[in-house]
Structure 1
């Protein structure tokens, strides 16, 4: 590996770690934590980590992270999808333990807080994708069918998560939070555009389109 390639690898991975780590570090230094219990804090940070994992997903499937083959990128995409679902479970369970009435209002879409419905919709989309991924072979979902189902749900997850996070006034620092949400949206749009363009070019050449097997 040449010096330039090594520098590029370090730069990309360093940028990713910073994009996720800086908001977490900023939230860890928030004064609001002094008024929160340990379960609530755990739930909150599980939500922040989940948003960071949402950023990683399109980077993996788009092949933008150096040092990972296409196969390893897909495998990592699957495992991180499971970790994302687990983080959401911890997030929701922690909030339920600390305030069941608020969670009931959120889950029934009767909460007065504007961020709740976006989070709930994104949560159900994540659970649906995770469940379908587990049952994909048993259901016999072909790559094209899986892509047809997965892509719209991915858009719902990304958009819902970003809006949910931006509307919350909590422990996350405003600028780093907005930057992370912008990166999540940008990475998702780029991955989807690049995959679509690739398939179109291959089709024009008379070849089989690239299969999105995430």
Structure 2
């Protein structure tokens, strides 16, 4: 039994590494990179890495990654959230450097490209979560209030990021991109359902008492 648990833990971590690593490797092998500048490439890969980090977040919150205590999951969630915000800054800054007019159109929601508003909306949601996480103690946000604010923003981040990624026809390979987006959605839906069930059971337990 113990051997099966260990093997299962290894498989879960390997699956997560492949889910994030394969799309990055496939993008690195794209022929389109030959016509891209280094700053544009850096910006693009920062976006791909950011999507991989989005996958890790619900897995941590739901406790689906073995070998981590609740404290370590929370710490990892916080640090990955900060890294995600930095990755988005690099992504946006790089695209701004290569084409300021396009980024102005995107940030003002006037871009003709269909993927832009989804990415920009997800970006603002990420920044809001990051700022609130930093100021949570100063603002005196209780856990219940934090969840009420954080969960809708997390849904916006996931939905916006996935649609943004799927609509872009760039260096990412189609199958691995779709698979990563599907996993991000599945993990988010799973953790939302589990959190709802836990609250429901907790409420029923309190009501019986």
TM-score bracket, shorter-length normalisation: over 0.9
Alpha-carbon distance, 1:2 to partner: 2.0
CA distance in 2, matches of 1:203, 1:109: 42
Correspondence 1:65-214 to 2 at 5 A: 65-206=65-206
Q: Alpha-carbon deviations, 1:25-50, whole Å to 9, x = none?
A: 00000000000000000000000000
Q: Extract unaligned runs of 5+ from structure 2.
A: none
What do residues 107-160 of structure 1 show as CA deviations (whole Å, max 9, x unaligned)?
011111000000000000000000000000000001110000000000000000
Between Structure 1 and Structure 2, the one with more helix by share is 2
Unaligned 5+ segments in structure 1 are 208-214
How many angstroms apart in 2 are the aligned matches of 1:137 and 1:13? Answer: 32
The 2-side partners of 1:178 and 1:131 are apart by 30
With normalisation by structure 1, the TM-score equals 0.95
For residue 190 of structure 1, give the secondary structure of its aligned residue in structure 2.
Answer: helix
**In 1: Cα distance, 2:179 partner to 2:27 partner:** 14
Moved over 2 A (4+): none
Secondary structure of 2:206's partner? coil
- Distance in 2, matches of 1:112 and 1:200, equals 44
Provide the aligned length of Structure 1 versus Structure 2: 207
Cα offsets for 1:31-73 (capped at 9, x unmatched): 0000000000000000000000000000000000000011110
